[in-house]
Structure 1
Amino acid sequence: MTEVAIIGASMTRFGERDAWVRDLLAEAGDACLADAGVASDAVDHLYVSNMASGEFEGMTGVPNALAHDLGAMPAYTQRVDQTSSSGGAGIYAAWQSVASGASDMTLLVGGEKMTHRTTGEATDVIASITHPVEYKHGVTLPSFAGLTARAYLDQYDAPRESLAHVAVKNHRNGVDNPHAQFRKEIDLETALESPLVADPLRLYDFCPITDGSAALLFCPVEVAREHATDFVTVSGVAGATDTHVVHERGDPTVMGGVVESGRQAFERAGLGPEDVDVAELHDMFTILEFLQYEGLGFAEPGTAWQDAVEGVTARDGALPVNTSGGLKSKGHPLGASGVAQGYEIYKQLLGEAGPRQVDAEVGLACNVGGFGNCVTTAVMEVGR
């Protein structure tokens, strides 16, 4: 199997953008190719991670349109839709296309346009991820988050303030990310006194509705050495699913897709949780940072909250988590989020993260779809 490298990366500004998804995708795709110094006609495969351009904009066929806009014909194109983990699934698909030998240059672009819809409309589109029976009864992902957060706090006797520590940390990291939607610090009191959304979770426990895009360029390591002095390798990547109906899980605080995808990704990389220097986790809700942190083996069950309170996951801690600001501060344009996680790990490993830079040679990105229904985990290393 071919060893896979990433030689270029880009991320647009996240937030409310006066642009449609096709424009956002082209912006990130052009910037990524320029970053790598690769011409668009050198692209063999073009993957687009996007969950709901049809639902949000009434636009389909975005990969074909993007190939035209980038001048990447006659590249093979494909849309990757795995709900809110579409970006991570795109990383897996792009890795497969190169690792299999089918492509020597694969461009992955993820993007979503959401802010032109009302909060209710956007929430309804996202809620379609749930099982039809749950959806019929008005279940939304925020309600799942609230129920799970309550179960976790009660089961492990964790203080409510521990979740606020996640929000405070990620907002602080977002200040130093020029692409982040929210670049403003908050304190514990602000997080704890914000409006209640789904008990015990409050406004600052949730990520925003966002427009944006990001891109990564994949190729074999031998090809990478021809184009770049510094690059990143994807040493392990894997995906897994959990029950579609959340209440069928034996323990709602354990995300089986996270556990299994992490186990496989580490096995393929020949590494373990102890080798990771920086991680990007899917904190659509603050409680998800705890569940992924434990599911990936960074802490024993019920102890992630302690690491958050003690600063272990802070930028200057033993294992920095969400140096980008996470979905919480950076924003969550569904199809782009997993790709943007890869962008952050790429920048950290190459030492190009600016004021949010940490000391890292191994990074991990975990992208979650729905409420853990589908998950992709990728382990990346400094290329040699």
Structure 2
Amino acid sequence: MRDAYVVGAGQSKYGSFPDESYRSLFETAVQNTVSSVDHGIETSEVDEAYVGTLGVGGRQLGLPGPAVTEHVGIAGVPVTRVENACAASGYAVRQAVMAVRSGMVDVALASGVEVMTDLSGDAVRYWLGVSGETEWERMSGTTFAGVYAQMASAHMREYGTTTEQLSHVAVKNHANGAKNPKAHLGFSCTLEDAVNAPPVADPLNLYHCCPTTDGAAAALIVSEDVVEKYTDTPVRVAGVGAASDRVGLFQRDTYTSVPAAKAAGESAYEEAGITVDDLDFAEVHDCFAIAELMAYEDLGFCPAGEAGPYIESGATRPDGELPVNTSGGLKSKGHPIGATGAGQVVEAFDQLTGRAGDRQLDDPKIGLTHNVGGSGGAAVVHVFERDDEVIDA
């Protein structure tokens, strides 16, 4: 099995863009991806493409992959639409890695796109809700925020997690997002702001919830046979893990963990041959503040029940022992459903190649991305490693 490398990654700005379309956002993301490749690349060199999208609003539900790839000059090659709710483009990255590792292709594009802000609030809630269990969650009126509120309530009850600890997630991620020119909500907030924000679904308030966002992101995955043609700063895909679970929260054995994410993380660590102590940073799926805290526990950053004190300690700030969501995360950077997983890979690529600007960490070598679909029906984890041996060759 061949090694797979990320040689370029880029995204559009995330936000609300009434003058943009899903095609134009995708084009921007691909242009930025191509321009990040050290030695250059043409879209005609892509052998296969994977496009993650939920198709919010019903736009181009059939064949959205060719609709966007043909628009950017990726013509005549196999294109697959990947739908795994909020984990769509994280799984698109996994599919691209598998295609390259298998020897089927040398250059694959993994990408995602979503337009969410041109709908009414009711329509957005509907499209978010389709990632929940249909009969007993969505059709009974349960919202996406409502499901995560149940998880937050359970975590508070079982472990003593507090509103202030949830709010520390928002404060940290907004501070990081304020340094990210691509972020949807690129402003900082105080702990008082986050604690006292208007309620959304008790115990979650406005600052505990990510925005609905327009955006696109992409990454170019290539084989070890051609990596030196494209870059002097390769990022190796060291480990991949993925898992699924029951779609409905009520169908699972726990409300205080995402078992699929835990399993995916364990698989990714094992394949990469690392432990959590080897990580220099992580991008985790913080659609709601409680989701980030559960990610800390599921991925082994801290023991179960200790995520609240862990965030309060400052361990996950940029100057902490394990920086988390330097991009601003979903909370500040934004959550264009189909693009979110690929967008996490963009931040990992930028950090490992020294392109993260004001957010740049000090010489990181290994990073992780964690992308969850729905409330945990699917999850995918990638471990990325700066490959100094190839750089020095």
Question: TM-score if structure 1 supplies the norm length?
Answer: 0.97
- Which residue of the partner structure matches residue 69 of structure 1? 71
The reply on whether 1:153 has 2:153 as its aligned counterpart is no
Aligned-pair identity (%): 36
CA contact (8 A) 1:236 1:265 kept: yes
- Which residue of the partner structure matches residue 30 of structure 1? 31
Correspondence for 1:235 among 222, 235, 238: 238
Question: TM-score if structure 2 supplies the norm length?
Answer: 0.95
Correspondence for 2:55 among 34, 52, 55: 52
- Which residue of the partner structure matches residue 12 of structure 1? 12
The reply on whether 1:163 has 2:166 as its aligned counterpart is yes
Secondary structure of the equivalent of 1:13? Answer: coil
Q: CA deviation at 1:30?
A: 2.4
Residues in 1 aligned to 2:259 and 2:306: alpha-carbon distance in whole angstroms = 18
Matches within 5 A, 1:370-381: 370-381=374-385
Structure 2: give runs of 5+ residues left out of the alignment.
none
Q: CA deviation at 1:58?
A: 4.6
Secondary structure of the equivalent of 2:368? Answer: strand
Residues in 2 aligned to 1:356 and 1:259: alpha-carbon distance in whole angstroms = 27
The reply on whether 1:283 has 2:313 as its aligned counterpart is no
Q: CA deviation at 1:57?
A: 2.4
**Residue by residue, what CA displacement relative to the aligned partner does 1:8-61 show, whole Å, maximum 9, x if unpaired?**
1111100001211122112211221232211111110011111125x3425532
Residues in 2 aligned to 1:245 and 1:337: alpha-carbon distance in whole angstroms = 21
The reply on whether 1:302 has 2:305 as its aligned counterpart is yes
The reply on whether 1:205 has 2:208 as its aligned counterpart is yes
Matches within 5 A, 1:1-384: 1-17=1-17, 18-36=19-37, 37-53=40-56, 55-134=57-136, 135-359=138-362, 360-383=364-387, 384=389
Figure out how many residues of one structure are paired with residues of the other and give that number. Answer: 383
Amino acid at match of 1:64: P
Secondary structure of the equivalent of 1:222? Answer: coil
Amino acid at match of 2:87: S
**Residue by residue, what CA displacement relative to the aligned partner does 1:74-124 show, whole Å, maximum 9, x if unpaired?**
221111111111011011011011011111010122110110001221111
CA contact (8 A) 2:106 2:225 kept: no
Q: CA RMSD in A?
A: 1.1
Residues in 1 aligned to 2:62 and 2:120: alpha-carbon distance in whole angstroms = 21
Q: CA deviation at 1:222?
A: 3.0
Residues in 2 aligned to 1:122 and 1:92: alpha-carbon distance in whole angstroms = 27
Q: CA deviation at 1:158?
A: 2.2
Residues in 1 aligned to 2:274 and 2:355: alpha-carbon distance in whole angstroms = 24
**Residue by residue, what CA displacement relative to the aligned partner does 1:157-178 show, whole Å, maximum 9, x if unpaired?**
1222000000000000001101
Amino acid at match of 1:112: E
Residues in 1 aligned to 2:117 and 2:134: alpha-carbon distance in whole angstroms = 25
Greater shift after overlay, 140-149 or 173-182?
140-149
CA contact (8 A) 2:50 2:93 kept: no
CA contact (8 A) 1:56 1:114 kept: no
Amino acid at match of 2:28: E
Amino acid at match of 2:256: T
**Residue by residue, what CA displacement relative to the aligned partner does 1:105-158 show, whole Å, maximum 9, x if unpaired?**
101221101100012211111101111222221112111111111111121112
Structure 1: give runs of 5+ residues left out of the alignment.
none
Residues in 2 aligned to 1:215 and 1:254: alpha-carbon distance in whole angstroms = 29
Distance change in 2, residues 1:128/1:223 (3 Å):
same
Secondary structure of the equivalent of 2:36? Answer: helix
**Residue by residue, what CA displacement relative to the aligned partner does 1:351-375 show, whole Å, maximum 9, x if unpaired?**
1111111131000000000001100
Q: CA deviation at 1:63?
A: 1.5
Residues in 1 aligned to 2:346 and 2:278: alpha-carbon distance in whole angstroms = 20
Amino acid at match of 1:173: N
Secondary structure of the equivalent of 2:226? Answer: helix
Residues in 2 aligned to 1:100 and 1:222: alpha-carbon distance in whole angstroms = 12
Residues in 1 aligned to 2:13 and 2:83: alpha-carbon distance in whole angstroms = 22
Residues in 1 aligned to 2:64 and 2:20: alpha-carbon distance in whole angstroms = 14
CA contact (8 A) 1:63 1:79 kept: yes
**Residue by residue, what CA displacement relative to the aligned partner does 1:176-228 show, whole Å, maximum 9, x if unpaired?**
10100011110011111111111111000000010001110010123111221
Q: CA deviation at 1:62?
A: 2.0
CA contact (8 A) 1:84 1:370 kept: yes
